[in-house]
Amino acid sequence: MDKHKEAIQARMQRERDQRIQSIQDAARSVFIAEGYTKAIMDKIALKAGITKPTIYQYFKTKDDLFFTLMLPVIEEIRIQLSNIETKLTAHKYRTGKAFIRDLFSSALQSYELAPETFLMIQYFQETGLVRRFNEHISHELNERGRHNFIMLRRVLKIGMEQGLVKRINVYVLADVLWGLFVGIIHLEHIKGQGKHPPMHLNTTMKVAEDLIAGILIAGKPAKKNDRIDVAVNP
Amino acid sequence: MDKHKEAIQARMQRERDQRIQSIQDAARSVFIAEGYTKAIMDKIALKAGITKPTIYQYFKTKDDLFFTLMLPVIEEIRIQLSNIETKLTAHKYRTGKAFIRDLFSSALQSYELAPETFLMIQYFQETGLVRRFNEHISHELNERGRHNFIMLRRVLKIGMEQGLVKRINVYVLADVLWGLFVGIIHLEHIKGQGKHPPMHLNTTMKVAEDLIAGILIAGKPAKKNDRIDVAVNP
DNA sequence: AGGAAATTTAACCGTCAGTTAAAAACATTA
DNA sequence: TAATGTTTTTAACTGACGGTTAAATTTCCT
């Protein structure tokens, strides 16, 4: 009669997952509506149709609950980059333009998976000007962020080796690209006053993409920064 | 005997200003050291050598105190842009490169005036994911931010009209430039783990500057985005 | 029906922003 | 120097909120 027990266990697990899911859904909507500090745990519980102590049965702290909302976004970035890397190693890109377009569109896709959460990650990765997460959570965040960064650099390096884009110091280029991308998203988000999607995000991002493409593809003579594999950034 | 009274009034005003200054100094250091939420008003008071109620005699709320720390930074940005505009109208720029270099260096200077505060502004201008300021404060922030943006666009437009840089939609270009700048600063700040200045900020920013210069100056044929005066962004 | 698990209820603790009222310190004027 | 007015301190309080606890209640399984 193991079958029976297993079935019950499975159902219980399903229910637990559902509850976690409903708490996260409620939390996300309250965080977005109220901001982190004004997102009151009792309100999240109310919205999830349960009581506060129940939340604390599934999540250790408010920070912890918040953290679980950020993970899927970081994971999405990883997946998107991984897809590009796969295409690269299969020599699917015939032009640098296509390569760069994929970089930008994959970044946009990560953002669109959960726009507000995407933005939150940027804040909360910061040195702690706003809040300090507990050690474990900020470590986890940093690790995953670092991992994605390494991946982006690897992808850029392969693109260079395949002659898709010009050879530039990958460490710096990765920073510039990511900075440009996140910076524009933030800006359009502010100016869009919370509307989704921000009105001019795509237009602006397209221009940025063209700029980067223009620089990375046009055959301007190599300059002093056009080195690769120089360990400048950590 | 008005003189006497006036002198006394002046001294009292000086003392009041000094006290405000010392509160702000204490607040800044505690905000930077602890983060906004963990910056406790009693601690700020202690550091300023006074007691909490005294702070509340000079500042209405914690938000208000924080807000006064951001103002000088926003003002610095305005001044820097205003300087560039002056140089432009006096036809002091002979090359686009010099113009762009000034844009970047003035932005960097605004950052360096008070790095942490500069970063805070970006967070707190956001839609309120982290905190919601009261109506008055967020309105004030938005107004001043908008004003600086208009100024940046005007500066860019003049630069285009003088043939220093290529003609591109100024609304979009301003977004890209500012996004790029702030994005890189944030990124290097995160990676620099709070060290000042962030190790690679200047290197990365120099590359960004070269990228932008390359695109805005090199004589690539005009493309569909190369319009000016098209009211795309607010 | 009996029993184990999770949930609710309802209260509580600690911390912190912000307030209050009275005492103390200080400066001003006469 | 005494009286007066202003500012600061003291010390306690309020109210909101994160987080906890323990007992009562529900739910679901056997």
Residues A11, A114, A147, A78, CA torsion sign: positive
Nearest CA-CA partner of A116 in A28, A55, A220? A28
Q: Which of A180, A212, A226, A232 to mutate to test the interface with B (most CBs of B within 10 A)?
A: A180
* Closest nt to residue B56, judged CA to C1': C18
pLDDT surpasses 90 at B90: yes
Copy the structure tokens of residue B87. 């140089």
- Tell me: the pLDDT tens digits for B134-144? 777 778 888 88
For residue B40, what pLDDT is reported? 94
CA-to-CA separations, A194 to A11, A184, A198, A199, B99, in angstroms, rounded? 39, 14, 7, 10, 34
| Long-range Cβ contacts of B57-61 (<8 Å, 24+ apart) | B58/B16, B58/B19, B58/B20, B58/B23, B59/B23, B61/B134
For residue B215, what pLDDT is reported? 82
pLDDT: which is higher, A145 or B155 = B155
- Tell me: the pLDDT tens digits for B62-76? 989 998 998 899 999
Query: Where are any strands of DSSP class E within chain A?
Result: none
Phi, psi angle pair for A44, to nearest 5°: -60, -45
Residue A133 CA, distance from chain mean position: 18
Separation of B67 CA and C20 C1' (Å): 26
CA-to-CA separations, B171 to A32, A201, A215, B123, in angstroms, rounded? 28, 12, 21, 22
Separation of B24 CA and C27 C1' (Å): 25
Tokens 């922030």 — which residue? B141
Q: Chain B within 8 Å of A232 (Cβ-Cβ)?
A: yes
pLDDT surpasses 80 at B199: no
Per DSSP, the three-state class of B77 is helix
Cβ B155 vs Cβ B84: under 8 Å: yes
Number of A/B CB contacts below 8 angstroms equals: 198
Q: Which of A29, A37, A129 to mutate to test the interface with B (most CBs of B within 10 A)?
A: A129
Interchain CB distance below 8 Å, B187 and A204 = no
Q: What is chain A's alpha carbon radius of gyration, rounded to the nearest angstrom?
A: 21
Q: Which of B180, B206, B212 to mutate to test the interface with A (most CBs of A within 10 A)?
A: B180
Lowest mean per-residue pLDDT among A88-102, B6-20, B162-176: B6-20
- Tell me: the pLDDT tens digits for B23-47? 999 999 998 888 788 899 999 999 9
CB-to-strand D under 7 Å, chain A 39-58: 39-42, 52-53, 56
pTM here is 0.80
Phi, psi angle pair for A116, to nearest 5°: -65, -40
CB < 7 A contacts with chain C (nucleic strand): A 19, 49-54, 57; B 4-5, 8, 11, 38-42, 52-53, 56, 60-63
For residue A47, what pLDDT is reported? 93
For residue B4, what pLDDT is reported? 56
For residue B20, what pLDDT is reported? 92
All structural domains of chain A: 1-59 (1.10.10.60), 62-234 (1.10.357.10)
Contacts of B38 in chain A (CB under 8 A): 131-132
> What are the 10-residue block averages of pLDDT along chain A, 234 residues in total?
57 80 93 85 94 94 90 93 97 95 95 84 59 72 88 96 92 86 82 71 89 76 37 32
Cβ A110 vs Cβ A74: under 8 Å: no
Cα separation of A104 and A90, whole Å? 20
Cα separation of A85 and A159, whole Å? 9
* DSSP state for residue A91 in the 8-state scheme: T
Listed as ranges, the nucleotides of chain C within 7 A of a protein C-beta are: 6-11, 15-21, 28-29
